[in-house]
Amino acid sequence: MPTNRLIHETSPYLLQHAHNPVEWYSWGEEAFEKAKKENKPILLSIGYSACHWCHVMERESFENEDIAALMNQHFVNVKVDREERPDLDEIYMNAVQMLTGRGGWPMTVFLTPEGEPFYGGTYFPPEDRHGVPGFPKVLKAVAQAYRDRPQEIEKSVGQILNGLNRLAGFRQSQRPISKDIIAEAAQQLSQTYDADYGGLGRAPKFPNVGVLELFLRHYRNSKSPRFLEMATHTLTKMAEGGIYDHLGGGFHRYSVDEKWLVPHFEKMLYDNAQLVRIYAQVFCITQDPFFKNVVEETVDYLLRDMFQPQGGFHSTQDADSEGAEGKFFVWGQDEILQILGEEVGEIFCRSYDVSDFGNFDGKNILHPILTSEQAARFFKKDIQEIRGTTAEAKAKLFQEREKRVKPFRDEKILTAWNGLMLSALAEAIKLSDSPRYLEAATKTVNFIYTEMMRDGFLLHTYKGGQAKILGYLDDYAFLAAGLLDLYEVTLDRSLLDRSLQLLGIMTHEFWDDTDSAFFYTGKSHEKLVSRTKPAFDSSIPSGNSIATQLLLRLYHYTGKEDYLKRAEKILRLYYDAMEQQPFGFTHMLSALDFYLEKPKEIVLVGKRDDPAHRELLRRIHSLYVPNKSLQTLEPGEQLEKVSPLLAGKSQLNSRPTVYVCHNFTCSQPVTEWEDLKALLEG
């Protein structure tokens, strides 16, 4: 089978297109030189390996000889993996949203030979369909416009570039910062809450972890039970829905319906990492073992299916297998009865909404519709017997499912998403004694520092023994935050040192000296048509929001005023936008909450191998204290140069002793848990 230039790439998404009849180029000088030499526009196609409609457009258009011939005749065709090049994805997605009012993948953008966008869209069908012009018609029209109407192309380019420049047009707020903004934002977001099924709005439904985190923070500040109830109800409904994998653990991307029943079946590392964190936080508040179980099952999935043995987590698992979306995950009733037998099969099918006619295209998405208590009453059996039977049935079905053709896994290691995963593992370590969590975190840190750093700079992506592309803001911010989260549970000072080191590089490379905040690309990065400054949260937090949290947290560890001043500038830059558009700034609002409330600064003095010391640590971690710093000091250690907070701290009566400082005032040292708990919850 003939191949194109993509055969030399490492990205699984690009390699999926290496046998297309389209003469694909990867992003780079070769494509742009050809476009300039032949005066052809560039057709830029952006997608990712787990994207269902990307696969559809490939089958319909990029594998079609006639459409490929049109593309090759009129354009220089460039394929980009958005997970490898999120900088390009952000710029050109903004352009498409300006042009069409919406975005998504696959994304198709037409550029001048200088890389300037002038027209674009998302998915185009192979022929006219539902009012959308067919791809061949679009190709011919764009090629003709580029050839015959250059003034129109130039005008379009100018309008789009002006629009891209305006996107970064935030200005420092001159208004006093008010504590009321957190409560007002939480209240505003709660107005779209679905009281029946949880989540925000109707279909489709996304996890929106940042909103739930803000609800938890507001609950802690206000003691308003409604905000805790909205978070717990949403997370319960999600974990009981089809968006959750009840056999293998982990969450699918989103739900296409309001009930969380029918998912878009791809599984993303970044979703699962963020969901582990929020479920762990809710468990700390409620102590409901249901939430802890979701944490453990999700981490088990990630360690089993997404972790490479030498360290690092893969990026995505596809929605499709054997050419059909969700085929790996759905079941027929006859199939289940044959595997489990009639009696156990009937109990399981009744409990997990399995029927002959199905709940998804004639098949069944598993999700519990009876509690163990309800099933015990219905089948007139002991509740423990029902629980045992159900657990055995799930294990047996899981083993059978493992024999199926698995969805494709994109085995790229992305630094930013692994940073989110380190934060998730830190939360899981707090809840569990399992050594596997710490081992996976340690291996991942070592892998990144061994394989994904070059000449003192982080690299963004690793695949097939090759790391490449200078790291973006998200890579530095998410990894530094993950290292700091791990430090707070392991108290390995090298993790804190590395977090500080990354912040130093990040500040030098990404900081905007003119308007403050961080650019998405560093000074050493390739120059593009626009240098973006991410402000809005998407499916992951904005890099600036996590960077702001990091600056504030590390200020309270080191006392370095520069960190605080930079954080204050970012908060002022986005303050008005946070108030006007809270949904896009939930993680920045969490940073603002940290800034306004100020953290509980905890210092534990004691010998790290003392069981009483470890027990105090375990209990500290069992509480939901979102705004805190945590350090330990061995008796007699002199570490005030590392952190001013450690000066003068000693043990009482040779017992593990805790000091809690807040808002420039330190408590009396305490040795009893009840006294410490009162200080932390106060």
| Encoded tokens for 545 | 């929001």
Question: At 640, is the pLDDT very low, low, confident or very high (cuts 50, 70, 90)?
Answer: low
Q: Classify residue 160 as exposed, middle or buried by CB count within 10 Å of its CB (0-12, 13-18, 19+).
A: buried
- Ranges for all domains in the chain classified under CATH 3.40.30.10: 5-167, 600-681
Question: At 516, is the pLDDT very low, low, confident or very high (cuts 50, 70, 90)?
Answer: very high
**194 pLDDT higher than 90:** yes
**433 pLDDT higher than 90:** no
CA atoms of 161 and 657, how far apart (whole Å)? 59
For the CA atoms of 542, 545, 551, 552, the dihedral, rounded to the nearest 10 degrees, stands at -160
Question: At 164, is the pLDDT very low, low, confident or very high (cuts 50, 70, 90)?
Answer: confident
Give the CA count within 13 Å in the CB-facing half-sphere of 241. 28
Over residues 234-272, the pLDDT tens digits come to 999 999 999 999 999 999 999 999 999 999 999 999 999
The DSSP 8-state label assigned to residue 682 in this structure reads: -
Fold of 5-167: Glutaredoxin (3.40.30)
The DSSP 8-state label assigned to residue 6 in this structure reads: G
Over residues 356-414, the pLDDT tens digits come to 999 999 999 999 999 999 999 999 999 999 999 999 999 999 999 999 999 999 999 99
Which residues, other chains included, contact 287 with Cβ-Cβ below 8 Å and sequence gap of 6+? Answer: none
The DSSP 8-state label assigned to residue 536 in this structure reads: S
Q: Are 503 and 477 in contact (CB under 8 A)?
A: no
The DSSP 8-state label assigned to residue 101 in this structure reads: S
Q: Given 3.40.30.10, 3.30.1490.20, 3.40.190.10, 3.40.50.360, which CATH number is that of 600-681?
A: 3.40.30.10
**What would you measure as the largest C-alpha separation in the chain, in angstroms?**
87
Over residues 18-74, the pLDDT tens digits come to 999 999 999 999 999 999 999 999 999 999 988 888 999 999 999 999 999 999 999
Fold of 181-322+409-597: Glycosyltransferase (1.50.10)
CA atoms of 270 and 180, how far apart (whole Å)? 31
Question: At 561, is the pLDDT very low, low, confident or very high (cuts 50, 70, 90)?
Answer: very high
Instruction: Kindly report whether the global pTM for this prediction surpasses the value 0.75.
Output: yes
* Of 583, 596, 651, 606, the residue nearest 626 (C-alpha): 596
Phi, psi of 675 (to 5 degrees): -65, -40
Q: How far is CA 499 from the centre of its chain?
A: 19
Over residues 100-128, the pLDDT tens digits come to 888 889 999 999 999 999 999 999 999 98
Mean pLDDT, the chain, integer? 94
- pLDDT reported for residue 230: 98
Question: At 642, is the pLDDT very low, low, confident or very high (cuts 50, 70, 90)?
Answer: low
